[in-house]
Chain A
């Protein structure tokens, strides 16, 4: 990809993922059996040929830092460029916490200034999708846009969520003429994916101007206010994309991975999704195992029944246990004759023998990290 650097925003405080994000940012929430949410945007950038990537972190970034390490799983442990992580910092001028997405980037403007790529692509750490950014850059260059925003037909995203995403209206050429942030009744079905391309020098100027005016939010203060002044274009992406910003969306997206088409597009494509490796042995099925329509990661030992579920790494399912429609995260132990339906068990949970936990398909029951039931 032509001279492009990447920035990944891992977001502000979000309690809509409940227990799952109490101790970690959304970007670090486990998904799909072995990944963290950020793996998707990060792998997309790497697969598009970007090798200079900054990850801006704010809340609960310890587990994110642990996950990313030196970036070696994404081939980003480089002498020149590579992966940079930017937690908030205190300085003579700053207060420490980033006040918003634009403020976060402005605080790390030296990263932009010291880089020499022509373009910057800004992505988010809250969505799962497999996208080649190259055609988007081509369109950006072709249209001569100031900013290009990746958009898609959001009719497969629940109405409630659309209100939070904001909606976009374009003219015939694809230029954005209206950007409705948090509309009460979304008129259009075109929504932004939180992926932006712009020229690096343009972004630096934009951030400096905004900071001078005390503007801190990239979307709200810059994009929305300047829709008429700037040439902002929509790039239409037709693939699978899911924000995992609340429990329902998170649960549903994991379940959608059981669909072969979705899994093929997202995980089995030529553009691979990279993640931190754990050196677990392959999963072991004992004689009593009954597993149907499920994803099972390495290191699991299964002696019970598992249906329509995702088992992350190193899960133990004891004899007589029945797990249906559930997400079971790394290292969790499901005891004998346990019955689980519509549950999300975080990492390291122990469910003792004979327990029954049943949630609802819209409101799955969540058991927090390292809890013993």
Chain B
């Protein structure tokens, strides 16, 4: 087997609990994004476009969707004889079986995978972000500096810096200090959670970390500080461009909505940096005689007989006549009835919204189910849910996945209200 210069390890086990019902049955990297994609597609496509052909995807939380989405990696050209994509799920060992207890532990438990590929470098990625990045340039930078580790950083506004892990560097970009969420940040270079390590060195640190007891088994909290303490050569690689953690309802919504702008911050239409995803088997979409679409993204297989403004519509969605959809995200195969009004709402896959429904009207009110997660004007309706005819939903309302008309005690859910199974 040929030796691989670099192997990517993509951490895709995160729950993304701040996405509420959207991540109840699937991991955050599997959440739909941008009218066709799942969040992990952006990182996987970055690998393909950067010439990385060996990717281990570490899964843990609700991996079913993710596994079937990735399959053997065909859409990303990762169905290879040597390398390709490998799903690395937690597994039983001779003594005991254990879950991944942290990002570093997840990699520790898969040391044999990287060893088998005989890789010189390893790049640690997360499947949670929307961005385009050429990892091969970062690797060049790493090699030029003869670094032990290189961490990709992005300039953030000073007032937001205390939310990130901040890298303090000297003029050459060498990191002398790392501060996790500092109260008084000394720099604005935030870690993007993308690391390149010399594998032999990282392996030592992972084994050491595994033997310690007072550790979170986390790259940011444990491995990076330990390397810094040993005065390893660590460099910050500056990335500029679009990079978003779509980990909250609001951030997820805004990032999707931005794609409908005349010139979006993130260009999906870049022929030199295509985003790959499994293509659904659908015909081209159809706009009916009564249909009207403006400032929106419409995917294949949709049938639009109503009005759609400033919205992102995923494949196979039907929007019937007399219906108005504004400022909303409608995921795959959802059916919207006639004379319905939907404003500022995220609707999951394969849901059915009845006729004469009004959704997203009235004034904001604090969410009575989980105000930490649901804290904006955005309504969230889960997948495989049926909203009965004539239902009225206020703002900041959350409706669970797999809700049937029987779960509705009333056809009016005021702002801040919810319909949650078993709640």
Contacts A282-B298, A299-B269 given; does A292 touch B291 at CB 8 Å:
yes
Complex contacts, A294 vs chain B, CB 8 Å: 286-287
- The proximity string for B residues 8-50 relative to A, scoring 1 for CB distances below 8 Å and 0 otherwise, is 0000000000000000000000000011100000000000000
Contact A290 B292 (CB under 8 A): yes
Complex contacts, B314 vs chain A, CB 8 Å: 282
Complex contacts, A277 vs chain B, CB 8 Å: 279
Contact A284 B297 (CB under 8 A): yes
- The proximity string for B residues 313-332 relative to A, scoring 1 for CB distances below 8 Å and 0 otherwise, is 11100000000000000000
- The proximity string for B residues 283-302 relative to A, scoring 1 for CB distances below 8 Å and 0 otherwise, is 11111110111111111110
**CB-nearest residue of chain B to A272:** B281
Roughly how many angstroms separate A298 CA and B281 CA in the complex, as a whole number?
12
Give the distance to chain B from A258, nearest Cβ to Cβ, in Å: 8
Give the distance to chain A from B314, nearest Cβ to Cβ, in Å: 8
A interface, how many residues as a size bin?
Answer: 35 or more
Contact A285 B283 (CB under 8 A): no
Complex contacts, B294 vs chain A, CB 8 Å: 285-289
Roughly how many angstroms separate A289 CA and B281 CA in the complex, as a whole number?
26
Contact B279 A293 (CB under 8 A): no
Contact B269 A281 (CB under 8 A): yes
Q: Which of A281, A291, A311 contacts B34 (CB 8 A)?
A: A281
Contact B36 A283 (CB under 8 A): no
Cβ of A200 under 8 Å from chain B: no
Contact B299 A298 (CB under 8 A): yes
**CB-nearest residue of chain B to A287:** B295
Give the distance to chain B from A75, nearest Cβ to Cβ, in Å: 11
Cβ of A321 under 8 Å from chain B: no
Grouping DSSP codes into helix (H, G, I), strand (E, B) and loop, the B interface class, with mixed when no group exceeds half, is: loop
Complex contacts, B315 vs chain A, CB 8 Å: 282
Cβ of A335 under 8 Å from chain B: no
Cβ of B274 under 8 Å from chain A: yes
- Residues of A28-43 whose CB lies within 8 A of B: 32-35
In the complex, the 4 A-B pairs of residues with the closest C-beta atoms, listed nearest first: A33-B284, A297-B284, A281-B268, A282-B35
Q: Which of B35, B283, B293 contacts A291 (CB 8 A)?
A: B293
Give the distance to chain A from B263, nearest Cβ to Cβ, in Å: 10
Q: Which of A285, A286, A297 contacts B300 (CB 8 A)?
A: A297
Complex contacts, B301 vs chain A, CB 8 Å: 268
Contacts A291-B291, A292-B291 given; does A283 touch B285 at CB 8 Å:
yes
Complex contacts, B292 vs chain A, CB 8 Å: 290-292
Known contacts A34-B300, A285-B294, A292-B292; 19 additional CB pairs below 8 A are A32-B284, A35-B283, A279-B75, A279-B275, A279-B277, A281-B35, A282-B34, A282-B299, A282-B314, A283-B285, A285-B295, A287-B262, A287-B295, A292-B291, A293-B291, A297-B284, A297-B300, A301-B269, A311-B284
Cβ of A252 under 8 Å from chain B: no
**CB-nearest residue of chain B to A275:** B281
- The proximity string for A residues 260-280 relative to B, scoring 1 for CB distances below 8 Å and 0 otherwise, is 100100011000111001010
Q: Which of B35, B284, B287, B296 contacts A292 (CB 8 A)?
A: B287
Contact B284 A285 (CB under 8 A): no
Roughly how many angstroms separate A291 CA and B275 CA in the complex, as a whole number?
26
Cβ of A295 under 8 Å from chain B: yes
Contacts A281-B35, A285-B298 given; does A296 touch B283 at CB 8 Å:
no
Output the residue of B284, B289, B300, B315 with the most chain A CB within 10 A. B284
Complex contacts, A282 vs chain B, CB 8 Å: 34-36, 268, 297-300, 313-315
Give the distance to chain A from B165, nearest Cβ to Cβ, in Å: 32
**CB-nearest residue of chain B to A276:** B279
Grouping DSSP codes into helix (H, G, I), strand (E, B) and loop, the A interface class, with mixed when no group exceeds half, is: loop
Q: Which of A296, A310, A312 contacts B298 (CB 8 A)?
A: A296
For chains A and B in complex, what number of residue pairs have CB atoms within 8 angstroms? 110
Cβ of B276 under 8 Å from chain A: yes
9 A–B contacts, CB within 8 A, in A order:
A34-B300, A260-B303, A268-B301, A279-B279, A285-B295, A295-B286, A296-B286, A297-B300, A298-B36
Roughly how many angstroms separate A273 CA and B288 CA in the complex, as a whole number?
21
Contact B268 A283 (CB under 8 A): no
Roughly how many angstroms separate A260 CA and B174 CA in the complex, as a whole number?
62
Roughly how many angstroms separate A294 CA and B304 CA in the complex, as a whole number?
10
Roughly how many angstroms separate A283 CA and B277 CA in the complex, as a whole number?
15
Contacts A292-B291, A298-B300, A299-B269 given; does A281 touch B285 at CB 8 Å:
no
Complex contacts, B274 vs chain A, CB 8 Å: 279
Give the distance to chain B from A175, nearest Cβ to Cβ, in Å: 38
**CB-nearest residue of chain B to A293:** B289
Contact B283 A267 (CB under 8 A): yes
Contacts A290-B292, A292-B289, A299-B269 given; does A283 touch B283 at CB 8 Å:
no
- The proximity string for A residues 108-129 relative to B, scoring 1 for CB distances below 8 Å and 0 otherwise, is 0000000000000000000000
Roughly how many angstroms separate A310 CA and B287 CA in the complex, as a whole number?
10
Q: Which of A32, A279, A287, A289 contacts B283 (CB 8 A)?
A: A32
Q: Which of B281, B288, B313 contacts A293 (CB 8 A)?
A: B288
Roughly how many angstroms separate A127 CA and B277 CA in the complex, as a whole number?
31
Output the residue of A287, A290, A295, A312 with the most chain B CB within 10 A. A287
Complex contacts, B269 vs chain A, CB 8 Å: 281, 284, 299, 301
Contact B35 A34 (CB under 8 A): no
Give the distance to chain B from A246, nearest Cβ to Cβ, in Å: 24
Complex contacts, B262 vs chain A, CB 8 Å: 286-287
Give the distance to chain A from B57, nearest Cβ to Cβ, in Å: 20
**CB-nearest residue of chain B to A312:** B284
Roughly how many angstroms separate A93 CA and B319 CA in the complex, as a whole number?
61
**CB-nearest residue of chain B to A292:** B289
Give the distance to chain B from A281, nearest Cβ to Cβ, in Å: 4
Give the distance to chain A from B206, nearest Cβ to Cβ, in Å: 36
Contact A289 B300 (CB under 8 A): no
Contact A293 B300 (CB under 8 A): no
Contacts A285-B297, A286-B295 given; does A33 touch B289 at CB 8 Å:
no
Roughly how many angstroms separate A295 CA and B286 CA in the complex, as a whole number?
4
Roughly how many angstroms separate A32 CA and B287 CA in the complex, as a whole number?
14
Give the distance to chain A from B10, nearest Cβ to Cβ, in Å: 20
- Residues of A295-315 whose CB lies within 8 A of B: 295-299, 301, 310-313
